[in-house]
């Protein structure tokens, strides 16, 4: 195996065991210092994460008197690539043996990739695939020997691959035959001094069994097995594991325990294994009939696992230091500032109030599931102009484009073009840093997600409004009880990704008298899944519709972790309008426009919202795309669940030319679901409604709204006035 290529790493970086903890609980910090040496961590409170000199700036409160530690730094490596590991190979008598699996590829690997590998001391057998075809690697008297078919299998077709060896004769055969019919390709050789494993070693599937594992495969694997006997042909390549039972030494049935990270050996010795780095299960296999679209109903149709050379479930770093949250530390947004001789980084964290206690009537719900979905999104836009702005502003200097080692986002693709369905927070997340610029924004700061949401936090600070902080993950774990102590819950700019539990909690809160301010756009859009069996990992299937960076394969729309139907909440009969009154309708480049007041805004019932706002239009300014109604826009739709009695107070107009109507609104190029004209759906609407239980919801319908809290050097102006009017009214008992 060739040595790995050099990789780019930050001088110092890390991650925490969780995004949030309560007073008395302890954060565990896992840190890597690329060049070793002493490093320091100190606590800061994050006030503003916008480095734009025309905005509020990067602002921190130094809390090093509360926590400041120096520790011995060391480099902690990352081993990406998913595979299955069986620590105990099946024992067997000396004699011929065959290693086999069904394999499906969407792209050929750049070099050799292992399908099935068994290593025991200086004996080994590995079934490989590469651009030169299917290969078998065995050990002989002269060292490693490679036998290759010389012809790569066709893409997007299932094939039976096998490696067979007989130590008595030295014969070795490697073969490939398509399951749908066609000629087999077989290569044979005689290897002097052939040595085969006897069952005392380790088996890896979709990787070579070294330490660390290497030669990772990107592709689907089904029915990997070890068989007694030698074969240089395969009469029935579609034979099931059950049909191979007379010769079966070990066979892993991936249709079993699909929701877990376990693989089950149905052979006589029960050599079960474990998956590493979270490959994708619940994918259609070689025998998928199409009769069922849900793996729970026909698990045998889903007996494959899609492995990827870039999967990363958990860096697995050791803890370098811990931070116990002091009992009197207020709830809020904080970070551990890391420094070493070569550079610096920040590890953002949130402190919750003590359980069952509200230290303020207002709580900010940090969209950590969305931050995680976009974690390390490589957009390919870190060009010279972008980097020049980063340097001029003193913004966060690192971009995921330049650091693939830390893994990609669910907006990126694997090497074979399949979409990334899992995102882990147990790794450095460069996009979740104060001062990170997503765009080289011609009219503003270009912030999204974590740093963009500090526009709201800095505004609260400037207005002297006390608030607590909770996160999506906390809400998923604890439900509506977490919200009950508060009069108002505020979202950030883009609460896009939610689980059934978070939606249920928010719906119960507003139904039972709570007040919600939805301050973004494209919110409550995608359904995701998390499970205690995979802490820190989130699953997403981009099924059937919506604005998508990739599309799930037909038949692969159900999550493996919770068995739920993935994709849009709208496709799950829970459109955003049901919860927030508005839902995604239009999208464009990172630019914005203004709102125009509607007659209801000046009616006595709602005029209080617009006190201090003069004129009929507002919001043609801001730090996010230069307008309060921008980038992604939400509108009311009573047929999709906007509650009866909802009042539309204002509507955006004059959308920039880059804006389009989102695909789920279209029946054809001229017909829409609602019956409105296509171009008329490119709008944001500000709405308010009351719930029968005494709750209220105020929604702004735009991702860029919070960027317009700032105007002309201060948190002032019409958008700020509207926000303060609503929040102060909502927060009164």
Give the burial string for 574-594 (b: 16+ CB within 10 Å, else e): bbbbbbbbbbbbbbbebbbbb
**Interval 586-593 mean pLDDT:** 98
Over residues 551-570, the pLDDT tens digits come to 999 999 999 999 999 999 99
Determine the Cα–Cα distance for residues 352 and 486; give it in Å rounded to an integer. Answer: 13
Give how far Cα 364 sits from Cα of 597, 614, 660, Å. 27, 29, 31
**Interval 136-148 mean pLDDT:** 92
Nearest to 216 by CA among 144, 129, 125: 129
Q: Identify the three-state secondary structure at position 480.
A: helix
**Interval 42-52 mean pLDDT:** 98
Q: Is the pLDDT of residue 1 over 70?
A: no
**Interval 398-425 mean pLDDT:** 98
Determine the Cα–Cα distance for residues 116 and 234; give it in Å rounded to an integer. Answer: 18
Asked if 660 contacts 682 with a C-beta cutoff of 8 angstroms, the reply is yes
Q: Is the pLDDT of residue 4 over 70?
A: no
Task: Report the 10 Å Cβ neighbour count for 368.
Answer: 28
SS3 sequence, 436-468? CCCCCCCCCCCCCHHHHHHHHHHHHHHCCCCCE
* pLDDT over 90 percentage in the chain: 95
What token pair was written down for 600? 């209801």
Q: Is the pLDDT of residue 30 over 50?
A: yes
Over residues 260-313, the pLDDT tens digits come to 999 999 999 999 999 999 999 999 999 999 999 999 999 999 999 999 999 999
Q: What is the DSSP code string of 588-612?
A: EEEEEE-EEE-GGGGSTTTGGGGTT
**pLDDT for the residue 715:** 98
Give how far Cα 706 sits from Cα of 360, 453, 457, 608, Å. 21, 8, 10, 20
Q: Which residue shows structure tokens 């774990």?
A: 477
What sign results for the dihedral spanned by CA atoms 559, 504, 372, 382? positive
Over residues 463-492, the pLDDT tens digits come to 999 999 999 999 999 999 999 999 999 999
Q: Is the pLDDT of residue 132 over 60?
A: yes
Under the banding of pLDDT at 50, 70 and 90, the label for residue 209 is confident
Under the banding of pLDDT at 50, 70 and 90, the label for residue 212 is confident
**pLDDT for the residue 3:** 44
Q: Where are the domains of the chain?
A: 83-307, 333-730
Half-sphere exposure of 305 (CA within 13 A, CB side): 32
**pLDDT for the residue 6:** 63
Q: Cis peptide before 595, with omega less than 30 degrees from 0?
A: no
Nearest to 494 by CA among 705, 659, 726, 727: 705
Q: Is the pLDDT of residue 7 over 90?
A: no
Output phi, psi for 169, to 5 deg.
Answer: -110, -15
Give the burial string for 413-446 (b: 16+ CB within 10 Å, else e): bbbbebbbbbbbbbbbbbbbbbbbbbbbbebbbb
Give how far Cα 110 sits from Cα of 107, 129, 131, 162, Å. 9, 10, 7, 21
Q: Which residue shows structure tokens 């399949």?
A: 418
Over residues 690-710, the pLDDT tens digits come to 999 999 999 999 999 999 999
pLDDT, mean over the chain: 96
* pLDDT over 70 percentage in the chain: 99
Q: Is the pLDDT of residue 689 over 70?
A: yes
Contacts of 630 (CB under 8 A, 6+ apart): 588, 590, 591, 592, 593, 622, 624, 702, 703, 704
Over residues 310-348, the pLDDT tens digits come to 999 999 999 999 999 999 999 999 999 999 999 999 999
Q: Is the pLDDT of residue 2 over 50?
A: no
CATH architecture entry for 83-307: Sandwich (2.60)
Q: Is the pLDDT of residue 151 over 70?
A: yes
Q: Which residue shows structure tokens 């849009």?
A: 568
Determine the Cα–Cα distance for residues 171 and 158; give it in Å rounded to an integer. Answer: 26
**pLDDT for the residue 55:** 97
């Amino acid at each position: 195996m060739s040595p790995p290529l050099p990789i780019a790493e930050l001088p110092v970086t890390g991650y925490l065991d969780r995004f949030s903890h309560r007073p008395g609980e302890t954060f565990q910090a896992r840190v890597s210092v690329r060049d070793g040496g002493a490093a320091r961590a100190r606590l800061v409170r994050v006030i503003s994460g916008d480095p734009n000199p025309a905005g509020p700036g990067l602002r921190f409160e130094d809390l090093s008197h509360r926590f400041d530690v120096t520790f011995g730094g060391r480099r902690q490596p990352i081993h990406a690539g998913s595979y299955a590991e069986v620590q105990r190979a099946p024992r067997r008598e000396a004699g011929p043996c065959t290693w086999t699996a069904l394999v499906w590829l969407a792209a050929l690997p750049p070099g050799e990739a292992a399908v099935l590998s068994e290593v025991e001391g200086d004996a080994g057998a590995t079934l490989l695939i590469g651009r030169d075809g299917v290969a078998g690697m065995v050990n002989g008297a002269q060292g490693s020997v490679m036998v290759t078919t010389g012809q790569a299998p066709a893409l997007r077709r299932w094939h039976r691959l096998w490696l067979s060896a007989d130590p008595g004769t030295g014969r070795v055969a490697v073969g490939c035959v398509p399951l749908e019919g066609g000629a087999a390709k077989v290569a044979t050789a005689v290897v002097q001094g052939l040595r085969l494993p006897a069952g005392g070693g380790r088996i890896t599937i979709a990787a070579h069994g070294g330490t660390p594992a290497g030669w990772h495969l990107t592709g689907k694997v089904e029915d990997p097995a070890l068989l007694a006997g030698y074969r240089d042909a395969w009469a029935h390549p579609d034979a099931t594991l059950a049909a191979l039972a007379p010769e079966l030494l070990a066979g892993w049935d991936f249709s079993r325990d699909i929701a877990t990270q376990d693989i089950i050996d149905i052979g006589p010795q029960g050599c079960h294994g474990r998956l590493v780095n979270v490959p994708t299960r619940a994918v259609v296999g070689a025998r998928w009939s199409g009769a069922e679209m849900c793996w729970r109903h026909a698990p045998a149709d889903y007996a494959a696992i899609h492995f990827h050379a870039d999967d990363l479930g958990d860096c697995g770093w050791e803890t370098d230091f811990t931070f116990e949250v002091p009992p009197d530390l207020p709830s809020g947004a904080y970070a551990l500032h890391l420094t070493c001789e070569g550079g610096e980084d920040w590890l953002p964290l949130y402190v919750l109030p003590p359980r069952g206690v509200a230290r303020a009537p207002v709580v900010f719900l940090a969209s950590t599931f969305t931050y995680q979905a976009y974690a390390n999104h490589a957009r390919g836009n870190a060009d010279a102009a972008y980097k020049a702005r980063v340097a001029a502003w003193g913004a966060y200097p690192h971009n995921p484009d330049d650091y693939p080692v830390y893994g990609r986002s669910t907006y990126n693709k694997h090497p074979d073009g399949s979409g990334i369905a899992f995102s882990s927070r147990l790794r450095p997340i460069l996009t979740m840093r104060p001062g990170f610029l997503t765009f080289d924004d011609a009219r503003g700061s270009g912030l999204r997600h974590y740093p963009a949401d500090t526009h709201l936090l800095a505004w609260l600070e400037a207005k002297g409004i006390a608030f607590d902080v909770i996160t999506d993950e906390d809400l998923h774990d604890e439900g509506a009880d977490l919200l009950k102590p508060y009069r108002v819950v505020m979202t950030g700019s883009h609460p896009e990704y939610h689980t059934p539990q978070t939606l249920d909690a928010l719906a119960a809160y507003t139904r039972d008298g709570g007040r919600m301010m939805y301050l973004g756009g494209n919110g409550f859009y995608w359904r995701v899944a998390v499970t205690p069996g995979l802490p820190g990992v989130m699953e997403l299937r981009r099924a059937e519709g919506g604005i998508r960076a990739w599309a799930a394969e037909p038949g692969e729309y159900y999550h493996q972790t919770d068995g739920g139907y993935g994709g849009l909440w709208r496709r799950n009969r829970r459109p955003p309008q049901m919860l927030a009154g508005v839902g995604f309708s239009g999208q464009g480049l990172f630019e914005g426009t203004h709102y125009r007041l509607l007659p209801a805004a000046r009616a006595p019932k709602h005029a209080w919202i617009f006190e201090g706002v003069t004129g009929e239009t507002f919001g043609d300014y801001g730090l996010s795309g230069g307008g309060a109604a921008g980038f992604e826009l939400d509108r009311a739709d009573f047929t999709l669940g906007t509650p009866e009695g909802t009042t539309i107070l204002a509507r955006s107009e004059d959308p920039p030319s880059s804006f389009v109507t989102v695909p789920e609104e279209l029946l054809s190029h001229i017909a829409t679901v609602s019956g409105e004209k296509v171009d008329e759906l490119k709008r944001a609407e500000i709405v308010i409604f009351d719930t029968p239980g005494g709750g209220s919801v105020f929604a702004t319908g735009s991702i860029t709204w919070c960027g317009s809290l700032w105007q002309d050097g201060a948190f002032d102006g019409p958008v700020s006035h509207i926000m303060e009017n609503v929040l102060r009214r909502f927060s009164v008992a």
